[in-house]
Structures are given as structure tokens and as C-alpha cells.
């Protein structure tokens, strides 16, 4: 069993839809949770970062962490074609961002 | 540009050859990471450098893999006697380190390595 499980998709939605992306994990020591966006042939870029359980909102993006269920989510509101990318969840035990453990990534396509 | 720079962007080589991949981190970033991303998979941690401390090599998959970093500058990842399963994108990231711990990792666009 992988430490972090993420449905690879692809997920195809119409422009304006609300998108829900999810990861589950098995290591209860994970404390830091991140979402990265990766466009084709580019490196990942950090979208959201949360510590422990709770919600965090940034513009159209909301990250949720439920440590009791070992489940994290990223919601994208009013999705745009420019959101089409692969979304990777990542998590870490240590303070800060050392040695991230990544999910496999979910490919998202937002069509006009 | 001020981002993480990796070279070459693409590398095709024959099985059994050695390859060297280069990473130029963001100036002032003392932490540097190497990851491997196989097709359709997430990033796999390889090695971590922080300042003058001994590197964390716990992610290196075999003794054919090695990496060096001189001070807080350029890093090279070397793969000896390449195998077809080494085909992947190799990503480098760097980050600042502050009193609050390591800050977000900034990634380069990777080197796409293909072993024939």
C-alpha cells in the first residue's frame, strides 16, 4: 500500500464547475499538507499549504484536512480552462517542507 | 530568471552509459532537493542537501545514483551504468530555511531522461 493514494483521473469538467480533488494517506505522523499544480512539461508549483486539520481558503481554492479520517481535499470554484493541469497532493512529517511524500497526481481538464 | 534552473532539459542515452544532471538553485536557498517522477506517478524523493550538513541520501534507489553539492550553489545528480528503469523526469527544488523551518520548495522544470 502506498503511503499516499490519489485517483489519477483524468477528471473532465465544464468551465465554471466546482472541482473536488482528494488524497488519502496511511501515515498518522503527517502534519503538513500541500497541493501542487503541474502543467505539462513544467515543474510543480505550490498552490496551498495547511498544517494539521482544518480549512484554508485562497481565492478560488480551498484546502481541507481531516486527520481523523486521513483524508485531504482541494476544491476549485468557478473552474477555468487555465486550471487544466495535474494536481499533486504532498505531505510531510517534519516541520517545514522536508522530504515531501507525493500522491500520483490527478489530471484535470476544464473544457470551455 | 530567478527560478530553479536545470540542465539539460532532455537527455537521451544508451543503456550502460553514465549521465550527469545539473541543478542551479535560487540564489540564497540553502536547501536543495532531488526528486524522480516516473510517467504517470508522483514525485519520489531522492536526496536532500542543507547547507554544510551531511546530505539525507535515504531516497537514492541504488548505489548507481549519487549527488554532490558545493556549498550552497550548484548540484549535480549522477547516474552510473544507466538502466531502462532510470527513464524518468528528474526534478530539482530549492527552498529557504528560516527559524520557522524550511520554506516552500520551488521546483525547476526537470530533466527528461530517456534510456534506450
Chain A residues interacting with chain B (CB cutoff of 8 angstroms)? 4, 6, 8, 34, 41-46, 49, 88, 90, 94-105
Cis (ω within 30 of 0) for the bond into A100? Answer: no
Please answer yes or no on whether B42 and A105 come within 8 Å at the CB atom.
yes
- Position A63 scores a pLDDT of 96
- Position B1 scores a pLDDT of 53
- Position A16 scores a pLDDT of 97
C-alpha cell at B98: 528560516
- B91 contacts B105 by C-beta, under 8 angstroms: no
pLDDT at A92 over 60: yes
Task: Name, in order, each residue with C-beta under 8 angstroms of A2's C-beta and a sequence gap of 6 or more.
Answer: A26, A104
- Position B51 scores a pLDDT of 83
Interface with chain A: mutation pick from B3, B25, B26, B43, highest number of A CBs within 10 Å: B43
- Choice among A20-29, B30-39, B42-51, B97-106 with the minimum mean pLDDT: B97-106
pLDDT at A13 over 70: yes
Q: Which residues of A touch B38 (CB under 8 A)?
A: none
Tell me: the pLDDT tens digits for B39-72?
A: 888 899 999 998 888 899 999 999 999 999 987 8
- Position B26 scores a pLDDT of 94
DSSP per position, A39-108: -TTS--EEEEEEESSEEEEETTEEEEEETTTTEEEEEESS--GGG-EEEEEEEESSSTT-S-EE---EEE
- Position B101 scores a pLDDT of 66
pLDDT band at A96 (very low <50, low <70, confident <90, very high): low
Q: Would the CA dihedral through A28, A34, A37, A43 be positive or negative?
A: negative
Find cell 473544457 and name the residue: A111
Cis (ω within 30 of 0) for the bond into A99? Answer: no
Reported in sequence order, the residue ranges of chain B that DSSP labels E, i.e. its strands, are: 5-7, 10-13, 19-24, 31-37, 43-50, 65-69, 75-79, 88-95, 97-98, 101-102, 106-107, 111-115
Tell me: the pLDDT tens digits for A58-75?
A: 999 999 999 999 999 999
Percentage of chain A surpassing pLDDT 90? 77
DSSP per position, B80-102: -S--GGG-EEEEEEEE-EETTEE
Count chain A–chain B contacts defined by CB atoms under 8 A.
Answer: 66
Please answer yes or no on whether A96 and B44 come within 8 Å at the CB atom.
no
* Helix (H), strand (E) at residue A4: strand A4-6
pLDDT band at B90 (very low <50, low <70, confident <90, very high): very high
Residues A17-43 have a mean pLDDT of: 94
Residues B87-93 have a mean pLDDT of: 97
Could you say which of A6, A90, A98 has the minimum Cβ distance to residue B48? A98
Please give the residue of chain B at the shortest CA–CA distance from A50: B104
- Position B102 scores a pLDDT of 67
Distance, CA of B2 to CA of A66 (rounded, Å): 36
pLDDT at B99 over 70: no
Average pLDDT along chain B: 92
pLDDT at A97 over 60: no
Please give the residue of chain A at the shortest CA–CA distance from B34: A99
Amino acid at each position: 500500500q502506498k503511503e499516499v493514494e490519489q485517483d489519477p483521473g483524468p477528471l473532465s469538467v465544464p468551465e465554471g464547475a466546482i472541482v473536488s480533488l482528494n488524497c488519502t494517506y496511511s501515515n498518522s505522523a503527517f502534519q503538513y499538507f500541500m497541493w501542487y499544480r503541474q502543467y505539462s512539461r513544467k515543474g510543480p508549483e505550490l498552490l496551498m499549504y495547511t498544517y494539521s486539520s482544518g480549512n484554508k481558503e485562497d481565492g478560488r481554492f480551498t484546502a481541507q484536512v481531516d486527520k481523523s479520517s486521513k483524508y485531504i481535499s482541494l476544491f476549485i470554484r468557478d473552474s477555468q480552462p487555465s486550471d487544466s493541469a495535474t494536481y499533486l497532493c504532498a505531505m510531510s512529517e517534519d516541520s517545514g517542507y522536508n522530504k515531501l511524500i507525493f500522491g500520483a497526481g490527478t489530471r484535470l481538464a476544464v473544457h470551455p | 530568471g530567478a527560478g530553479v534552473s536545470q540542465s539539460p532539459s532532455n537527455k537521451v542515452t544508451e543503456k550502460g552509459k553514465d549521465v550527469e544532471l545539473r541543478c542551479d538553485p535560487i540564489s540564497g536557498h540553502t536547501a536543495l532537493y532531488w526528486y524522480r517522477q516516473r510517467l504517470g506517478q508522483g514525485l519520489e524523493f531522492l536526496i536532500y542537501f542543507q547547507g554544510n550538513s551531511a546530505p539525507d541520501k535515504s531516497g537514492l534507489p541504488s548505489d548507481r545514483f549519487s549527488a554532490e553539492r558545493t556549498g550552497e550553489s550548484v548540484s549535480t545528480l549522477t547516474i552510473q551504468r544507466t538502466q531502462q528503469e532510470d527513464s524518468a523526469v528528474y526534478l530539482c527544488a530549492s527552498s529557504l530555511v528560516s527559524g520557522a523551518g524550511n520554506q516552500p520548495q520551488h521546483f525547476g522544470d526537470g530533466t527528461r531522461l530517456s534510456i534506450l
